[in-house]
Amino acid sequence: MTHGKEVEFLVRYVYQLDPEETGADPKEDLKQLKKANPGVVAIPWGEEAGGIVPVDCVRALKRNGVDINHFETDPEEKRARPVTTHHNAQYCLLAEFHRWNIEDDLTVEGTAEDRKRDKPAPGQPHFGWYGLELISPANPNTAASHQEMCFVLGVLRQKYGDRMRVNDSCGLHVHVGMGPYAIPVDRLKRIAAFLYAADPLISVLHPPNLQDNEFCCSIRRHANVTWGMTAAAAAEEIAGSTGGGSGMPIDGVWDAESRTGRQPVPLRDAVRELLACETGHGIYRLLQYLDRGCNYNFNNYRVIPEPKGFVTIEFRQHEGTLDPARIEAWARLCVGLTEWAAFDMTEEQLGEVAVATETVERQQKGVDALRQSLLRQLLGLGGIR
């Protein structure tokens, strides 16, 4: 299986003062600003940071031989699309997302402490932090692909130093798929059932603030299947939706407001419905929560009759990091667990995962030791030692 990594981070920038107010020569003033702030992106007076900071990052990577797209305001227009076809998608060469990308990320921002510290004194330049997302090509799970991420981050860290960083608004997302092709439904529903069952266990690998927030909601707490949507109801809804089932959320009994006072269904019943799905779109509907992806995001399977674009499962829960070793470890685990669930997991093992997570949720004493024991088993299944 293939994977792609998305690393969110911040780069510090500084604005040039108004030349009319300072009386300085604009070109000389900007030159001195850059000299006084090495490694900080200098923004000329009257320009927007969005037109400078991402381009500066792309330029640095291109100079060092990284195959990266030019920065554009519409990321969907600059991503490479499949150019090869084969009657059996399993044997097609990967032809999508073969270059690196850098995009704006409005959800990544400096903290209140940053803004307080960066507030300029009278007559001094204004500093700020610009949120970006570094997107890797879709790669096989090999040492070479992980080494490439190490190199790319090394180039950026060498250029920006401590002026490039992460905070609590940043995340690390990993997309797992089969190149530009959809994961077959019989495999996709096994993955969905496993991740749904294992969610409370995998979540303890992450900080508490990422175990259930607006950008990576818990699939077990919020997905439609938790609140009673069945595979049959999802299929009926998709068939009757306008535009052939575009995948946009449908108001009604499954929206957030209508869940008040309702009880979640038993885990075994929810898993049974996921395994009964006959389409990727149906799995997406069962695991949907509003218009946001949950911590395990199946939203890329919402187009029928066949998914288009990048058809992956997105793991959204990891905290922001610029450490290549941590990025590699998490990516390998995401791919390993997905492959195991899709191809090797037995019905008995899925049942064991369900029992284990139910035990963790019920256990009041010794829960940490129990989690550690279960996690060791789970990580072993994913090929991580």
Res 249: pLDDT: 47
Residue 168 main-chain phi, psi, to 5 deg: -70, -15
Instruction: Report yes or no: 53 and 130 within 8 Å, Cβ to Cβ.
Output: yes
Model confidence pLDDT, tens digit, residues 158-217:
999 999 999 999 999 999 998 777 899 999 999 999 999 999 888 888 888 887 787 888
3-state SS record for 77-139: HHCCCCCCCCCCHHHCCCCCCCCEEEEECCCCCCCHHHHHHHCCCCCCCEEEEEEEEEECCCE
User: Does residue 244 surpass a pLDDT of 50?
Assistant: no
74 vs 287, more confident = 287
> For residue 139, is pLDDT > 60?
yes
Confidence of residue 90 (pLDDT cuts 50, 70, 90): very low
- Angle at alpha carbon of residue 150, lines to 54 and 294, rounded to 5°: 70
Average pLDDT over residues 62-79: 76
> Could you tell me the pTM of the whole model?
0.86
Whether the pLDDT of residue 385 is over 60: the answer is no
Angstrom distance (rounded) from CA 74 to CA 176: 23
- Residue 321, classed as helix, strand or coil, is coil
Q: Which of 125-134, 279-288, 331-340, 371-380 has the lowest average pLDDT?
A: 371-380
Residue 134's pLDDT is what? 96
Helix (H, G, I), strand (E, B) or coil at 316: strand
- Tokens standing for residue 304: 């029928």
C-alpha Rg value of the chain to the nearest Å: 23
pLDDT exceeds 60 at position 95: no
CB 163 within 8 A of CB 39: yes
- Residue with the bigger pLDDT between 26 and 149: it is 149
Q: pLDDT value at position 246?
A: 46
Residue 290 in this model has a pLDDT that exceeds 80: no
Helix-, strand-, coil-residue percentages of the chain, each rounded to 5: 50, 15, 35
CA distance 97 to 111: 32
| Per-residue pLDDT tens digits for 264-284 | 899 999 999 999 999 888 999
Q: Do 207 and 44 touch, CB atoms closer than 8 A?
A: no
